[in-house]
């Protein structure tokens, strides 16, 4: 059975009292360990689609089934648990909390559903920071980091709770070419070694070509490239 089934989902917003479909009747089946890239113009509905898969916005119609369970049929707390335990989010903008240090930002998801001891979580945060090359920044605040460094911290944070599915929204947008390559290798290693499923939205066609399946969104609809 596919890990993720997206069944005919639509998201409609009211813009100036007129309905606007950000996502239109999208269906998708993704197996565990898949690595999918979605390309498309700005405003084509990529972020909205990722958000519905991740349970942070509710579709106007349709279903999202993860491991056979309709996530929008769950109670609010269970949806939060789904986001915390199964999903690793990488947002397309800086998403670190400014009052927390780098280490505390990484530990944030573990606070909401603590599965490991504080020491284990701290060790994991340090290991992930090492993997993204920011060991020496562990105790600094986001404001003391460059945009690229903040992005790498957010990437590390997405793996803190050992997610089954990573939703990456232009994860390398602020990174230089070399770091972008490093991060892509990191993603592939997590995908291949740990079987983490990836859905990555990107404008970079070179990056998209490195994934197992490529999709394109045009005006809210999904097409196979």
Listed residue (21, 15, 80, 77) closest to 49, CA to CA:
21
Nearest to other proteins of 30, 49 (CB atom): 49
Nearest to other proteins of 121, 181 (CB atom): 121
Q: Which helix (H) or strand (E) holds 204?
A: none
CB of 13 to other proteins, least distance (A): 10
CB of 148 to other proteins, least distance (A): 19
Q: How far apart are CA 172 and CA 183, in angstroms?
A: 8
Residue with tokens 């990836």: 198
CB of 47 to other proteins, least distance (A): 8
CB of 192 to other proteins, least distance (A): 25
Write out the residues near other proteins by the rule CB under 8 A: 47-48, 51, 54, 56-58, 76-77, 80-81, 83-85, 89, 91, 93, 95, 97-100, 108-109, 111-113, 157, 161
Nearest to other proteins of 110, 149 (CB atom): 110
Torsion angle of alpha carbons 216, 16, 76, 33, nearest 10°? 0
Nearest to other proteins of 47, 149 (CB atom): 47
Burial class (CB in 10 A: 0-12, 13-18, 19+), 140: middle
């Amino acid at each position: 059975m596919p890990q993720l089934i997206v069944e005919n989902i639509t998201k409609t917003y009211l813009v100036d009292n007129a309905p606007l479909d950000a996502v239109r009747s999208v269906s998708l089946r993704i197996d565990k360990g898949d690595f999918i890239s979605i390309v498309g113009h700005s405003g084509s509905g990529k972020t909205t689609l990722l958000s519905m898969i991740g349970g942070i916005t509710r579709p106007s119609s349709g279903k999202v089934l993860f491991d056979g369970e309709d996530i929008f049929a769950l109670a609010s707390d269970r949806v939060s648990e789904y986001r915390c335990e199964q999903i690793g989010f990488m947002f397309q903008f800086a998403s670190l909390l400014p009052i927390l240090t780098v280490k505390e930002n990484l530990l944030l998801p573990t606070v909401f559903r603590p599965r490991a001891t504080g020491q284990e979580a701290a060790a994991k945060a340090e290991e992930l920071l090492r993997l993204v090359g920011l060991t020496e920044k562990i105790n600094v605040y986001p404001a003391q980091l460059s945009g690229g460094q903040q992005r790498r911290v957010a990437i590390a944070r997405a793996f803190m709770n050992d997610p089954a599915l990573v939703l990456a929204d232009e994860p390398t947008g602020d990174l230089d070419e070399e770091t972008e390559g490093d991060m892509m290798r990191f993603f592939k290693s997590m995908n291949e070694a740990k079987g983490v499923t990836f859905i990555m939205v990107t404008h970079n066609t070179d990056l998209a070509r490195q994934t197992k399946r490529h999709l394109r969104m045009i005006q809210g609809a999904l097409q196979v490239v």
